[in-house]
Chain A
Amino acid sequence: MTIVKTTYNRRSFLKVTALSGGGMLLGFNWFMNVVPPGKTGAAALAAAGVDLNGFIQITSQGEVTIFSPNPEFGQNLMTSLPMIVAEELDVDWKNVRVEQARFNTELYTRQMAGGSQSIRQTWQALRTAGASARHMLVQAAAQAWQVPAAEIRTENGVLSHSSGKTAGYGELAAAAAQIPVPKEIQLKEVKDFKIVSTPRQNVEGANIVTGKPMFTMDYRREGMLIAMLTHPPAFGMQLKSFDAAEAKAMPGIRDVFSIQVYQEGYEKEVFDTCTFNDLVVVVGNSTWEVLNAKKALRIEWEPIATRTEIQKFWGGQKREVTIPGGLENSTGHQQRMETEGAKSAKVARRDGDPETAFKNAARVIERSYSAPFLAHNCMEPMNCFAHVTADKAELVGPVQAPEMVEKTLAARLGLPLDKIDIQLARMGGGFGRRAYGQYMVEAAVISQRLNAPIKLIYTREDDMSYGIYRPAYHATYRAALDADKNLIGFHVTAGGIPESPLHANRFPAGAIDNYLAEEWAIPSNITIGAFRAPRSNFIAGAEQSFLDELAEAMGKDPIEFRLELLQRAKTNPVGQNNDYDPGRYAGVLELVREKSGWAKGKKSKTARGVAAYFCHNSYAAHVIDLTAKKGKITVEKVTSALDCGIIVNPLGASNMVEGAVTDGIGNAFYGGLRFKDGQPEQNNFNTYRMIRMPEAPKAIEVHFVKNDIPPTGLGEPPFPPVFGAIANALYKATGKRSYHQPFLADERVVD
């Protein structure tokens, strides 16, 4: 039996209010549990314990509305978060209405989509809120009926007593609003769940299939103008001058001017990444007119010299970063990464005596892996509505981290924080890109200048060539084997442009006596940002490909080899700070082995590859079956096993994993943005190859480890190991190892 307190620092995190028409409104804090144990300082409490940010509304007619405060970009939180509330509230899911709450820092504390954290960080608070509201309804019924509360049952939004008395929640909601908020509350047993862990369709499904206007791109306002911008064609270039005469004279054009995104001397916050600070803007009545005028602009660009910039990182850490001048090339990038990868670098972890192990080795296996820059390519290009007047700013935007950009907007516009109003719109994809809200600042600056409502739209070309990419990465792995083919030493050196992908304390750290992890980075003027499972999305594939090759050299089955290492990490771990649970890691490998029929794989007509990884608090493993016939690779089947604790909505969760698998295969096969003289060589979907239906897996089977562990992340964890599983399957099909992404950049891999 789980009993939880509803108070925090002597303050309740629940507050009940009577609705004017009769009924109750229970406010609560979604992020009650965001403060990790041991970090209960006053500041943390102020952030987590005071403000109310979620609401359950029950009208006297019995309509139940649950507000979902987190931004929605396809992870389907609008369904899964309210399901958790509804479970404890004991209402019929069919009668629950879900609404996207407005962004409001007065009310909300972490309105953010990112890091696969939304369910993990709200789980207990949502359950507590639902259970508390139910408790108050039960108390109201007990008073009304003069019976003990313990004798009252609830089901599907109806209260009942053995005497035959029944009442809908709506009938007693007004009375429940007068009941004091309980100090502690009993939560349901996991085995009694009726809504959580059952498949529920996307609450926005009907709006999506009928094409309802849900995205910022669809937003319109009376008198709204359309704005588009032109940024430098290459990284390392900036605006020198422009001639707007021709564009200004074109039909429907209101104005052409340049803007400065951030002002001189502004110290950027973590998510203030901005590639091009000076932009030329065209504003007009309609999109097509603006597009035509944009083509008529005459702009001169000039190179930017090497400069330094203070950059903020997570946790408030500041660093002076040198941004080199010059026009960069992909071929130069690859050469520099190979050179850097061959040197000694900053040691991130050392266990035992790796140098001696390598000196004594009977055989050393060394392999290098690399991957190019990737563009996020959200289907809805960056865009934002803004209406900035002298005393307030109103924005509607697709944004993952509104709380971050709100501060930036206030600073840039010279308005107090409470005069910045951001309305969250459903996002046409995010993948990390929309954590960086510079397009919202641009929209606001344009609107402020014109004193008019505007919608800024990036063309696909503007979007793809703007930057904030997944970095380019490189990793070299070395393994030392003794004469009996035992693994006696392990060494990884990883780096990238401009950051390292290394996670030094992850598997196989902790499983090998002599272990060395080093990292390096090469500065660049190409901007980078979070991309679905940052860093993991490269290092997992490299590591899991290397382990596969190692298993083969040692004459072991690749799953058995990993399980042996995990057994060592579990029973007799090496070193400190191993940040994974070897038991749960082994669990997904065992599940995928069983479900894929791995043992029968030797007789299979398909080539099979396996990989597993841990990131964002969850464990994922995939077995990929593919064929290579007449030069054509076909992914026949993917079997996936996940351990992310309790699954809230199995239907949405499976969809998420299937999407991650497809996304991973697409990026592994084709993904890549190449540069020539600072200019991206791809800027639209006719040159940047995306996975399409014919290349997608013919079947994807998703399995979840069943346990009662509170839920952890799922948006990111299934993505990184796909790169390893597909590389290992390609090897089995073709006899050639794939070391450099994109694996199918040309057809050489297939004979």
Chain B
Amino acid sequence: MAIFNLTINGKTRQVDVDPTTPMLWVLRDHLDLPGTKYGCGVAACGACTIHLNGNAMRSCVLPVSAAEGQSITTIEGLSEEGEHPVQQAWLEHDVAQCGYCQAGQIMSAVALLNNNPKPSDTDIETFMAGNICRCGTYSRIKAAIKTAAGH
């Protein structure tokens, strides 16, 4: 066990955990931030996507020891009450079915638009390929990203 000082959603949080603990479980088990979801544990589905210094990162394979000193954003920190343009676009297109993967989808989409504000269809497809939606809402996700890009 070791003490780690983390910057999450603009706040400093301290945890005492095994240094190999993935950020996914630090967020979910130790910091009561369950919006980041467990899907596969091997960075193959994108459900656990967070931002590390503004870039999309699969938190299930990011050890807490590598996260210290960096700026972390989770779905809970994206906006106060869902007013981020990407979240608004998700509502406008009524994207979700079961909803389990959508926090990860949104975090990936925000990271995409941060680095590429006007992505082409191919840009969107390539970037979002790491996020699985078992319900098959891809066409709405893509439409929502395009709407958000227009903001």
Contacts and interface: CB of A to CB of B under 8 A. Distances in A.
A699 interface: yes
A709 interface: no
B99 interface: yes
Nearest to A658: B139
Nearest to B106: A209
Given A251-B1, A655-B94, 5 more contacts: A380-B39, A380-B98, A662-B138, A686-B40, A696-B138
B82 A209 contact: yes
B41 to A, nearest CB: 6
A694 interface: yes
Contacts of A457: 38
A684 B94 CA distance: 29
B35 A211 contact: yes
A429 B75 contact: no
Contacts of A218: 28, 34
Contacts of A206: 81-82, 91
A700 B90 CA distance: 18
A215 interface: yes
B45 interface: yes
Contacts of B128: 692-693
Contacts of A217: 34, 37-38
Interface size bucket, B side? 35 or more
Interface string A673-713: 00000000000111000111110111110000000000000
B137 to A, nearest CB: 6
B39 A694 contact: no
Given A201-B91, A205-B90, A663-B135, A210 B75 contact: yes
Interface in A369-399: 377-381
A211 B45 CA distance: 17
B135 A429 contact: yes
A716 B130 CA distance: 27
A694 B47 CA distance: 17
A527 interface: no
A659 interface: yes
B35 A212 contact: yes
Contacts, number: 193
A208 B102 contact: yes
A211 B98 contact: no
Given A206-B91, A217-B34, A286-B29, A685 B132 contact: yes
Interface in B3-46: 17-18, 20-22, 25, 28-30, 32, 34-42, 44-45
B118 interface: no
Contacts of A291: 41
B125 interface: yes
Interface of B: 1, 17-18, 20-22, 25, 28-30, 32, 34-42, 44-45, 47, 74-76, 78-79, 81-82, 87, 90-91, 94-103, 106, 121, 124-126, 128-142
Interface of B is mostly: loop
Contacts of A73: 98
Contacts of B130: 692
Given A377-B134, A661-B136, A693 B141 contact: yes
Contact of B25 (A286, A426, A655, A686): A286
A205 B95 CA distance: 8
B100 A659 contact: no
A693 B140 contact: no
8 contacts: A213-B35, A379-B134, A658-B136, A658-B137, A659-B135, A690-B132, A692-B138, A696-B139
Nearest to B1: A251
Interface string A649-662: 00110011011111
Nearest to B128: A693
Interface string A176-207: 00000000000000000000000101101110
Contacts of A660: 136
B50 to A, nearest CB: 11
A41 B113 CA distance: 61
Contacts of B98: 73-74, 378-380, 426-430
A699 B39 CA distance: 27
A692 B29 contact: no
Given A208-B99, A685-B40, A694 B126 contact: yes
Contacts of A663: 134-136
A284 to B, nearest CB: 11
A378 B32 CA distance: 23
B100 A215 contact: yes
Nearest to B96: A208
Contact of A692 (B76, B102, B129): B129
A346 B34 CA distance: 52
